[in-house]
């Protein structure tokens, strides 16, 4: 999730336990702890873009890291304030572990059991930036900053901000289930056979959903808005070069990339180069009967490869199309 969401979530969860004891300082401590797991990005300059995938959301996002750092931070807090070690541990653990739990809700996924498992886990119920999740926590933290320490309504503010933001995540799970059921019914109705399906939210909302459907020879893509008046879905098909993908999976250095894509990679020829996209986020657009994606892994004729910084030329056009599509067909 975005940094602001993680900061206010960490602040609110820490304050839930420690606001009565230390007041507004609880927001600061929680914000710091809630940010720590993402500090793994500070290592990015020392690694290439593929190696970075092996580092981000790995150990710093695992339950074991949260437990270990909670023990250490609780010792420091106990030394500083001379109060219950147990309460400091739980305050720290809430602020730390809610970070990967929130990331678990996004399509990027989180290796929450690293190093026991290198697999990404995700619920796909919220986009990585969603103002309707963050706003409740942000408002709660701002209100707490202006309330007096002895105001007996401070805990009420904390609980309501956490309740409303969590309810939005639960709503996302319900809508994800509904959208997934819609796509599966359409696939059955259109007699499309497939191996697996991933349904993900589109940017900044939980109204418009995309399906990434892996079949034997390619990948289908489709979208569905909860405001759609038509009950049918159109699936765009992209033929996949399976043999090329299987050959490149033998390259040890590319393991982080293929682990990250979770089996939803798409290989095709573009110009004189072969490219592989990680498509688990869905296409950013479908233009001229061709799906478009971010950052392809490009392979040159000599066998060398690199992640291209290819991006759309006009983001405003893409977001305008997204807004129109959210409103339904």
Report phi then psi at 31, rounded to 5: -65, -40
Name the band, by pLDDT with cuts 50, 70 and 90, for residue 252.
very high
Express the helix, strand and coil content of the chain in percent, nearest 5 each: 50, 15, 30
Query: Tens digit of pLDDT for each residue in 217-235?
Result: 999 999 999 999 998 999 9
Number of residues that make up the chain: 329
Q: Residue 272: its pLDDT value, please?
A: 86
The pLDDT of 75-96, averaged and rounded, is 97
Nearest of 32, 31, 37 to residue 11 by alpha carbon: 31
Q: Residue 287: its pLDDT value, please?
A: 86
């Amino acid at each position: 999730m975005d940094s602001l969401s993680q900061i206010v979530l960490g602040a609110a969860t820490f304050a839930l336990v420690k606001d009565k004891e230390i007041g507004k300082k609880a927001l600061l401590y929680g914000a710091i702890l809630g940010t720590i797991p993402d500090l793994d990005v500070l290592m990015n300059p020392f690694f290439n873009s593929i190696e970075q995938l092996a580092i981000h959301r790995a150990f710093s996002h695992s339950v074991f890291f949260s437990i270990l750092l909670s023990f250490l931070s609780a010792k420091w807090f106990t030394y500083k304030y001379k109060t219950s070690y147990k309460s400091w541990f739980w305050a720290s653990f809430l602020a730390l572990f809610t970070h990967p739990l929130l990331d678990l809700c996004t399509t990027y996924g989180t290796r929450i059991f690293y190093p026991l498992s290198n697999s990404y886990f995700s619920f796909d119920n919220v986009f990585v930036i969603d103002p309707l999740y963050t706003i409740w926590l942000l408002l709660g933290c701002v209100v707490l900053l202006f309330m007096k320490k002895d105001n007996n309504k401070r805990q009420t503010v904390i609980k309501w901000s956490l309740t409303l933001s969590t309810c939005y995540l639960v709503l996302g799970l319900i809508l994800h289930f509904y959208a997934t059921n819609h796509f599966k019914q359409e696939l059955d109705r259109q007699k499309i056979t497939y191996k697996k399906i991933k349904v993900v939210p589109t940017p900044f909302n939980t109204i418009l959903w995309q399906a990434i459907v892996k079949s034997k020879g390619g990948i289908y893509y489709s979208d569905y808005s909860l405001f759609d008046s038509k009950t049918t879905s159109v699936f765009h098909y992209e033929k996949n070069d399976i043999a090329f993908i299987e050959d490149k999976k033998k390259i040890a250095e590319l393991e982080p990339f293929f682990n990250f894509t979770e089996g939803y990679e798409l290989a095709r020829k573009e110009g004189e180069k072969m490219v592989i996209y990680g498509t688990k986020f869905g296409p950013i657009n479908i233009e001229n009967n061709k799906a478009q994606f971010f950052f392809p892994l490009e392979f040159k004729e000599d066998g060398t490869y690199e992640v291209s910084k290819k991006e759309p030329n006009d983001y405003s056009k893409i977001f305008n199309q997204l807004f129109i599509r959210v409103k339904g067909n």
